[in-house]
A and B are shown apart, each in its own frame.
Chain A
Amino acid sequence: MSNYLKDRENQILTKGTDSAEISCEKKSLAGSVSQRACVFCGSRVVLYPIADALHVIHGPVGCASYTWDIRGSLSSGPQLHRLSFTTDLKERDVVFGGEKKLYHALIDLIDKHQPKAAFVFSTCIIGVIGDDVEAVCRQVTKEKGIDVIPVMSEGFNGTKKDGYKIACGALSKLVGTNNDYEAPKYSINILGDFNLAGELWILAEYYKKLGVEIISCMTGDGRVEQIRRAHKASLNVVQCSGSIMHLAKEMKEKYDIPFMKVSYFGIEDMSEALYEVAKFFKDDEMLAKARELVTNEISKLLPALQPYRQKLEGKKAAIYVGGAFKAISLVKALRLLGMKTVVVGSQTGNAEDYKLLKDLCDEGTIIVDDSNPNELSEFVKLTGANLFIGGVKERPIAHKLGLGFCDHNHERKEALAGYVGMMNFAKEVYASVTSPVWKFVK
């Protein structure tokens, strides 16, 4: 493997050949064509789905432009989160500071839109030019009587993961601020679902059938009021643990709310999530309902998947996604379709995730942390993959190589969660892998 950046050797391993642990949670090397983003990106994607809050980006225009409504987090009500607000700092502001601009922007926007809370994102240069964003936020909170929460997400200050942590910090300022609410007997918060393609709504249906009330979702289809009373829930059910685990842990400490890690992707993980929640409440009736739901869904789903499985049996897949926990579910779901995972990697996985992946994958699978296009393209060639699962920057590479593609990131157009999501996934993979277009590649 001569073609890789030398210092990255420990971030790549082949199951069965390499015995060492994968090295991860490292900063990217300067000069690498990394697929990773920054702290701001991490904070922005976690908080953005809160639809009735104001999200103001304090900095030069770019950070606001690039994150303007790109993520497909759906809201059943307000759409304020889909607008792009920025202080659009200029050279003058860099010299004299942007606090006044921020203050006026906030006052204007709060007057106009009457949001339930406001998040102010600091981008790279804010600390450097000496703006005291926290002080401005305190001032506006005082004047306007709504929570104006600083999100100190300067891009260089760590990785995207650190951005998640900062976003969790911002959320935790809202959690617990409404004590007047009486929670129903069986209530949960859903953490780490962002309602891409309406996935939360699918989950909500399932939980309703079990008799479980969702107090808040952080943050898909999110509302400030719901987050305020999230501490009244009996349980936090955490998906996409990378992004929101900090909050789950904090709520455990502060409010003694236990959490469980789940995945809603694929039959096994989805079913297990429902069973685990039912078991948590120690209610036999609920468990019976969960069994009924799962049996019902699976008995419909398995035969429906069969024709797709027949065509996909033995095909090989490469996975490169943001979080490694997601990759684990994907490996299992692909297996259900008869497909073998030959490459699997993530931008932000931790040692525990990678160990799970290593245990789960077959011999010969290449496991990689913080990869880049050259490596990925090499791995794909080496393993003869037929399908690539990734995000926006991976799609055209896969297509150029003549591989089918499935977007498992925020540009997914079909819900992939739940049983219906598994069906959608099968259809999408099938449509792409078996498309006649590949036969024209010479």
Chain B
Amino acid sequence: MLLRHTTKEVKERKALTVNPAKTCQPVGAMYAALGVHGCLPHSHGSQGCCSYHRSALTRHYKEPVMAATSSFTEGSSVFGGQANLLQAIDNIFGIYEPQIIAVHSTCLSETIGDDLGQIVGKAKDDGRIPEGKHVVQASTPSYVGSHVTGYANMLEAFVKYFAFKTDEKLRQVNLLSGWVEPSDMRELKRLAGLMDVKTVLLPDTSDVVDTPMTGKYQMYPKGGTTIDEMVSMGNSMGTVALGEWGAKSAAIALDNKCKVPFSMNDVPVGISATDRFIQALSTAGKVSIPEIISEERGRLMDMMTDMHQYFYGKRVALFGDPDTLLPLTEFLLDLDMKPVYIVSGTPGKRFTQRMEEILGDKVSETKFKNGPNADMFLLHQWIKEEPVDLLIGNTYGKYIARDENIPFVRMGFPIIDRVGHSYFPTVGYQGGLRILEKILGAIMDKIDATAPEESFELVM
């Protein structure tokens, strides 16, 4: 057994994370920046950070992921990284010609006290930023929060930098999305299109990290929110923000800067959260909900009713990021499943509060934890105490799934051993169908593989 080192007995750990259920801020900042058109993410720190983040995103999307680095040296760690960043800005605009450089910091540059705002200001004063080009910066220290925090910080930086209010009133709604896949971004836009609501989605990684194979390599693919779109967000009727951890700070920033009111919603995973999303979109866009949306909902309902006998009472362990874990937990409850163990490495007190709201008194035995020490080791220990029927989470769940023989559905970041997440959404009613298909597939495959001959069923 690969995880033979996991002991059943849970002991309080003060100083140690084993098999983390999170990673650090900069990778989130890099992902968010990829969702802006013509933007090159830039990592202000050692070369390894940039390389690791690019590799992590490349493994997850099987796509080229471009980002530059300040390539810190011993000197930079003593004298600060200003010279590196200034040189980097020159080189990047000179050679790679992006519209925007999105700079994020790292643990090193934060610890030595580099002030990104000041350095970028100097670059501007020195005339290093060509006319019509932009350098946006976000502070993303790796020792605070998690990858989701970095995503949120970068998103907030874009909104603060670009959104601009004029007298013009635009009949459009801003969609600020938490961390979801390009397929999900595409689905959010499709749903808004069906509702006839004009939206600006930020960020938008569709057509960036899911590009078609054409025989050509494009450094800046056609997707991503454009500068004009970001600027126009200041004149929108309202903002629908999806996911408190990923999108709330940006929504607040936009409200503060341009007085665009926002509604805070869950990422629309599952039927209830999608219902609320559609409602929020209809309110913000001042449109009624068209029949075609109700039909999509009906199809999800149909599968839920047809198959509900297979969901009832199944014990589920899940791990990942709060913005998707919360609505997913709710969806599992809607299916009459029992989300019994829930772990997220991403900190935030609201997690407990929201989880308690969602769980109510529906499942008495649920254990959940987020933040420090909420890691895969703990999740595995809980599972060893009392087993589960299903595990949902990123690729790192496969060790537990294998050792404990648990059906496993991959959702979250990173997924580095299966494909599909780039193309098939898990948000919206359609996404709900896909989640059900995957859950049923995993559970039924195990039934088929382990059923005694006499009870092996043709019809299920």
Contacts and interface: CB of A to CB of B under 8 A. Distances in A.
Contacts of A401: 215-217
A129 interface: yes
Nearest to A3: B95
A4 B5 CA distance: 49
16 contacts: A31-B88, A32-B69, A33-B68, A60-B24, A62-B23, A65-B22, A66-B53, A67-B52, A82-B2, A84-B20, A91-B141, A94-B141, A101-B14, A160-B48, A401-B217, A441-B213
A128 B143 CA distance: 14
A124 B54 contact: no
Contacts of B25: 62
A442 B16 contact: no
Contact of B17 (A5, A64, A402): A64
B49 A157 contact: no
A338 interface: no
A428 interface: no
A400 B108 contact: no
B64 A400 contact: yes
Interface string A144-155: 000000000011
Interface of A: 3-6, 27-41, 59-68, 79-80, 82-91, 93-94, 100-105, 108-109, 112-113, 123-125, 127-129, 154-160, 373-374, 377, 392-393, 395-397, 399-402, 441-442
B144 interface: yes
B91 A37 contact: no
A96 to B, nearest CB: 12
Given A60-B143, A124-B107, A38 B47 contact: yes
Contact of B18 (A35, A85, A397): A85
A322 to B, nearest CB: 11
Interface stretch (B73-81, B237-245, B425-433): B73-81
Given A37-B47, A82-B2, A27 B20 contact: no
Given A62-B26, A393-B58, A83 B48 contact: no
Contacts of B91: 5, 29-32
Contacts of B340: none
Nearest to B109: A124
B217 A397 contact: yes
Nearest to A401: B217
A146 B73 CA distance: 34
Contacts of B61: 396
B142 A104 contact: no
Contacts of B288: none
B143 A91 contact: yes
A351 to B, nearest CB: 21
Contacts of A91: 141, 143-144
B143 A89 contact: yes
Given A90-B144, A124-B107, A28 B215 contact: no
A88 B91 CA distance: 34
A213 to B, nearest CB: 29
Interface string B84-117: 1101111110111000000000111001100000
A347 to B, nearest CB: 10
B58 A392 contact: yes
Interface in B215-252: 215-219
Contacts, number: 254
Contacts of A37: 47-48, 51-52
A385 B313 CA distance: 56
Given A90-B372, A400-B211, A400-B216, A39 B58 contact: no
Nearest to B142: A60
B352 interface: no
A3 B219 CA distance: 13
B95 A66 contact: no
Contacts of B141: 60, 91, 94
Given A38-B47, A38-B49, A62-B49, A374 B143 contact: no
B364 to A, nearest CB: 31
B216 to A, nearest CB: 7
Nearest to B90: A31
A41 B107 contact: no
B179 interface: no
Nearest to B85: A30
B423 to A, nearest CB: 15
B17 A157 contact: no
A61 B2 contact: no
B52 A41 contact: yes
A256 to B, nearest CB: 34
Contact of B51 (A38, A61, A400): A38
Given A31-B92, A400-B211, A108 B15 contact: yes
B396 interface: yes
Contacts of A105: 15-16
A181 to B, nearest CB: 28
Contact of B5 (A40, A86, A113): A113
Interface centre among A91, A93, A393 (most CB of B within 10 A): A393
A60 B22 CA distance: 11
Given A61-B146, A108-B15, A393-B58, A156 B22 contact: no
A275 B23 CA distance: 47
B71 A29 contact: yes
Contacts of A79: 2, 4-5
B29 to A, nearest CB: 12
B345 interface: yes
B52 A441 contact: no
A156 B2 CA distance: 33
A24 B448 CA distance: 58
Contacts of A374: 95-96, 219
Contacts of A85: 16-18
Given A156-B46, A374-B96, A400-B216, A66 B56 contact: yes
A102 B53 CA distance: 25
Given A39-B48, A112-B7, A392-B58, A441 B69 contact: no
Contacts of B436: none
Given A61-B146, A125-B107, A33 B67 contact: yes
Closest 5 CB pairs of A and B: A38-B48, A62-B24, A31-B91, A31-B88, A155-B46
B19 A397 contact: no
B24 A31 contact: no
B13 interface: yes
A32 B56 CA distance: 19
B59 interface: yes
B107 A402 contact: no
Contact of B15 (A5, A102, A129, A400): A102
B366 interface: no
B208 to A, nearest CB: 13
Given A63-B52, A94-B141, A112-B7, 20 more contacts: A27-B71, A30-B87, A31-B88, A33-B68, A33-B69, A37-B48, A60-B142, A61-B142, A62-B142, A68-B19, A84-B18, A84-B20, A85-B16, A86-B16, A88-B372, A90-B144, A104-B15, A108-B15, A124-B45, A155-B46
Interface in B20-40: 20, 22-27, 40
B70 interface: yes
A34 to B, nearest CB: 6
B64 A101 contact: no
Contacts of B27: 62
Contacts of B143: 60, 89-91, 93-94, 125
Contacts of B96: 33, 374
